[in-house]
Structure 1
Amino acid sequence: MPTPSLFSTTTTTLLLLLRFCNLSVSLTEPDFSPFPGCEGTFSCGNIHNLTYPFTGGDRPDHCGPPEFRLTCPVDIYPELTIESVPYRVLEANLTGKTLVLARSDLWNNTCPSTFVNSTLDSTIFDTNGGQNVDLTIFFGCSSSPMFIQPQNRFYCDVGGVDLTDSYFLIGEVPIDPILKMIHCTNGVSIPLLRTVGADLNRSLLTLAEALTRGFEVIYSDPYGDRCSECSRSDGECGFDVATSQPICICNSRICSPPVSSKKGSLTLTIILPTIGAILVGVAIGWGIFVCKRRRKRRAAKEVATTQTESKAILTTVSSNRFNSDARSNFNSSVPSYPSSKTTKEFGKCSYFGAQVFTYEELEVATDNFDDSRELGDGGCGTVYHGKLLDGREVAVKRLYEHNYKRVEQFMNEVAILTRLDHENLVKLYGCTSKRSRELLLVYEYIPNGTVADHLHGKLANSNSTSGLFTWSVRLNIAIETAKALAYLHESDIIHRDVKTNNILLDKRFQVKVADFGLSRLFPNNATHVSTAPQGTPGYVDPEYYQCYQLTDKSDVYSFGVVLIELISSLQAVDTSRDRSDINLSAMAINKIQSHMLDELIDKSIGFETNGLVRRMITLVAELAFRCLQQASGMRPTMKEVLGILRVIQNDELNAQKPEVLDIMVYDGTLFKDHNTEPPSPDYGTTNKLYGSCMPNSSDG
């Protein structure tokens, strides 16, 4: 067979050329000073897989320019010093060459000891104006301009000097004659992520919290052109601290300068293209050979698989098409398989617009689904951390079985997620074909675990020591989760598996709701969907469980359990608790009715030490109580829930609320005033029915 012979001959030639190349380079460059430790990637603090131009930790200074030297504390954000100002590195994207930075001196701190603007060299760190907005903070002013809103003012006491008249502006500072008349002792100007600035303007974040969200920069290596030449000669880019010049390192020694001599340059000019041509020729020949073999095996396998599946699949096509016409005639739990028209689209590597990946490329991305890459294990499958060839970090869900029911859930999740677009919903990048050897879903990677991990899971202990999972963070998680669910309900979708294990968090503790395998598309003009109860014990709506009727109030009940988890840090179901307290929702209702709310609340979030936090937690407990009512008609809608949470966060109700509410129950509804009349029977309803069990209006 000619191919192996060609491969062995070219390999021998290649080795001889490489030996000659190494000899030639060493003759032109006699510098043998040792520069070890620059191979591969390294970790710094809680950020991993870093490489050139960054140095720090166990990566020596000579492995990159000084502008990218990191300080690496243990298990927290690394620091990068720019113009003598320390910044925490919240995120690092080596593919897109972006960093998210936050000022260390302003970290959750509105009253710094020194006042320094963020000035960055745009040739190295471009603040990427499209992603950021300017934040200007004024300290110790003689007065505040009339146009400054109360929420933009704050108290600051620095070194015993009362700087009460301090305020901040987002965006360009207006040219106003009044501003020229106001004297301020100090001021600081820094960039801020545009989305964070918007939340700060709407009072969804405090100034201290916004300062921990940071801003984005695009970084550039000042020696990038010369480093590229080094990379093309199979060297590692480095930096000679003694001469302050870039160097090229091969086998821990300088092998050639980024700008080579004429002799070295001529040698490499001749040899490297030759090697490249040989490699390309071998790769093409070998690739054609391997592809032909794989294609034959795959074709044979798919023929057998298709014959066994086609009868079962095609019988469901006409009744389960996922398009706008089907919504008025909704008769099944999910849109199972595409019509023949959609099947043609599958040939273009797209399911409902989602990219179709091969099993082999996802196997490579996850190191053959290595156990060390496992992110979580749920009822439907295991999720693995992966990295695609294009550099994107992904979460790959590997479903446990490949049967009809699992394929149905698989296609359901793809169909629903590809039609949704919301900042608090996890994004679906793509999936494998339903005829693949395994069913795999590919999502954006959310790096900071789940809410359950932080409340009572593997990250709970670190949170208790670091104090990161504060009440304000928890309340913001509740609001962003409510935003996502309200968006789903407006899109006629019921999640059906709302729980803290399905609420993911990024590094800035922003919410991404995930796992739509059990979700349902709600038909227009229907009061409910009749279907067998599915979900997670402890979160399932009791009326849904009893009546087999799913409504969007079923999600409201599950969200009520999430709210109780956020204020208590307890699990939804825990058999180690007393028999009457195994179910957290039952425990919470009992504690609230018995005026023993303090026995339910996590003591670490300030309920007993901070009056404002105490009032806000009490109001959230009241809202959770309403969400957990047995009769769905007594529960608020998700839109109402979101509005109440926003009011609580803005502290608009607190001026009218006592510190401890007198909570009582009247006919299944929560009241604080004994003279209050019970609500009307249709209280809190929308155009859908939320009552006791009714005759079926839709089968599913």
Structure 2
Amino acid sequence: MALQLVIPINFLLLLSSGLAEAAPIAKPGCTSVCKNVRIPYPFGIQSGCYMDPWFEIVCNGTGAFLKKINMEVLEIALDGRSSSAEKVRVKGGSIISSNPNCTSMRSGVMNLKGSPFTFSYNNYFVSFGCNVTATIADTDQQVVGCKSLCNTSLINGARNSSSGFNHCIGLIPDGLQVFNVEFASTDNKVLGGCNYAYLSESSRPEIKSINTMEKLGFAPVLLDWQIYNWTNGWRVMLDSFNNRRDFRCYISYSTSSSIYYYSDFDAKSFHNTISKHYDEISSLICNCAWGYEGNPYLSAGCEDINECEDPKLNHCPNKWDCQNAKGGYSCNKKKMIIIGFGASLGGLSLVVSIWWLYKVIKRRSEIKLKKKFFKRNGGLLLQQQLSSSEHNVQNTKLFSSKELDTATDQFNESRILGKGGQGTVYKGMLTDGRIVAIKKCNIVDEGNLEQFINEIIILSQINHRNVVKLLGCCLETEVPLLVYEFIPNGTLSQYLHEEIEEFPLTWNMRLRIAIEVAGALSYLHSAASLPIYHRDIKSTNILLDDKYRAKVADFGTSRTVAIDQTHLTTLVYGTFGYLDPEYFQTSQFTEKSDVYSFGVVLVELLTREKPVSLVRTQERRSLATYFILSMEEGFLFDILDAGVKNEGDIQEIMVVADLAKRCLELNGKRRPTMREVTKELEGVRKTFNGQENCETI
């Protein structure tokens, strides 16, 4: 069984054995292999062979180990074409057990805090047990978990494909550094037996029983890494990049919570950028430029690829027409014509015919591939839905891949607005001048294509001024591309939890934003053609447009429900601090679950406190709990934001605070509906401020 789990990962453009002989991977005089594990710089074994102590490898009779995190290394690869983090494959740490009496299992938290390593979201979260919900306990990340069932009737009644008999599998969020697991019974009983959870790169481990798990004891795990240490890392590399053009780097730095990437450097611009943004740089990744391959962190590590030797790497009609060059190649058309004339006019005609045929075949191959992607991504189903008279979606557009390539400058890294578990968002400009946000999805489950297409149809029909508009999609690419209207002024979270002095939030503005968000959710729950549950309402998913009006965004986890449905049975998914406790216990998401999340946002507007804070005591770590206890103990005004106390009317504040408390009721049936919430907030504004009732669409 262990052999079945320890499957070699297929890293993109992994250095071949032939390249290992031609180009160095370690610093001169340094060992480059330990127990069949290749050790490329910045990793190293001997002193002076690694860039930073975090990259030190201990090589002993057992294997290669990352010294500071004490994990055995199975494979290290440098990704030569991606701006994402590099990867290390390690022998995973502990398999966590809920019962200390399960002594045959290695147990303990895996903590990578302070290191340049994170658990890659390419790993899977696996749990074993009976009628147990297992969740990753990391207050800085989204709630991730899954439910394993042993009761046959429960399994037959559950619509969540991630639930299974005795075990379940789920995804993990990006950037996770602490792996700890909490177990809870699905039927409110005391946990019994041995329940296990672990991380693994394997998507479907063929584990037949708990006994097999106990014998295994570990699973392979992927770690992402980047270079964070300026003193011992980047400064050391500057000399190795001097006078070179065979590399490119991706430098991320934070300014007003935005992340920027720079690429395609020569040595001069690299040095200038490092100097200009010295205090803002947060991380760095480098790789060999196009036309080169090897180890970019070494001065002689990137070597020119001879594209002419491999027909897959050049587009010349024949090998005689190809001339290799540093970082590329050229097709010598003049030489081909001279040879053609020398042979005969007929030979020239033959060459021209071959070239024309090549272009035709290439074009047909591209069209065939686009049709393949279009069909795989549900394009035929979407066309059928668009042509149906049942859907009023004339404004939904099917964009071509060429349109969106042009709009984003071939999806240039400099156009990235942000990255998340659902995908990467790029800023683009359409041919008509409109600025849009283009979301490149990570993956689409082919088993849920009908649901994916139906959600596009439903979301394209949403017509509310406080909901980000879906303009269309492109399905002829490897992964779907979704096109949204562009919202320029960032998220509500930035204005609440970061100091943005040029635009402070007044009380009237906070109340208006609350009304706009509540109105949008009320529309989704009751006024849309089919009720829509958002499932991830939080201040980071509330955007502000050019007039600072609220726009509800990120419908990546949203679900539509039939008119006669009261809830959805789903994999537990949400964000710590905003997650409905009732949903967490039952896995049943209702419209009142969105109400609870909105209640947390309302408290954020009142207090300017974060939803989860490690500064507060354990009992009050959750903002919802902290707020309710403060109200019950009569200390509400001690936790309110100064701007609220100074600008808001006391009665007005108390009405809004009482409404927030009712939204946070543990029993969902006692919470108001979003329509009731909207009316109460509009009433507050009208009664206390003498303003007109806010108009909703």
TM-score normalised over the length of structure 1: 0.43
User: Whose Rg is larger?
Assistant: 1
TM-score normalised over the length of structure 2: 0.43
